[in-house]
Structure 1
Amino acid sequence: MQKSDNGDDVTYGYYVVETAVPDYGTNYSNSNGAEVQTPKDAAVSSGTITIKNTENMRFLLPETGGLGRTVLYIAGVILVLISAGVIITRKNRVKNDTK
């Protein structure tokens, strides 16, 4: 415990003020681990209060870009495979023609 300049014990206290936020829920549990719905029910003179905030999503945002990039990637891979096949086929023809 800290002492003041006069040598007296200094007692500290604090309080928490919550602001309601849309789409978020709050659960409280006191030092006994019991969950309560309101902060006044969780109030303790000593010990701990655990506050857990959870997000209540109302909707999902769509993915940006859609299928556009995926289609381009697949088309690119197909073109590379076709090109590799043509090159290999031509090399085999040249080898067979020279024999």
Structure 2
Amino acid sequence: MYDNKMADLVMGLVKPTNFNLPTFHGFNLEAIGQYFIAHYLMKNRYGPADRVLPLFVNPIAGMFWDMPLSPLERNSAGTLVLDYFTAEAQRLDNLIIEYATNSK
């Protein structure tokens, strides 16, 4: 029988919006919503463990993007990196609404 004691790496995915959290590790879930997933590295025999890696998910395209580790991280132009993901979440919401409206 195998369990996590024998594993070298143990990872998990959590969708904080399923728990009705308004924020998660400083990320505004009301702006990013259903597109935010936290990838947890729970066990790692080769390096540090207990890490959270924020991910942005585009469920339409089936793609994942790494988000900044801090919601306050800025790019070289001085704007918040998170602004891109907030705008992308809004764009995806609009696409879903448009598709649902036109498919009736």
TM-score bucket of the superposed structures, by smaller chain: under 0.3
Name the TM-score, length of structure 1 as normaliser: 0.26
Structure with bigger helix share is 1
Choose 1 or 2 for highest CA Rg.
Answer: 1
Name the TM-score, length of structure 2 as normaliser: 0.25
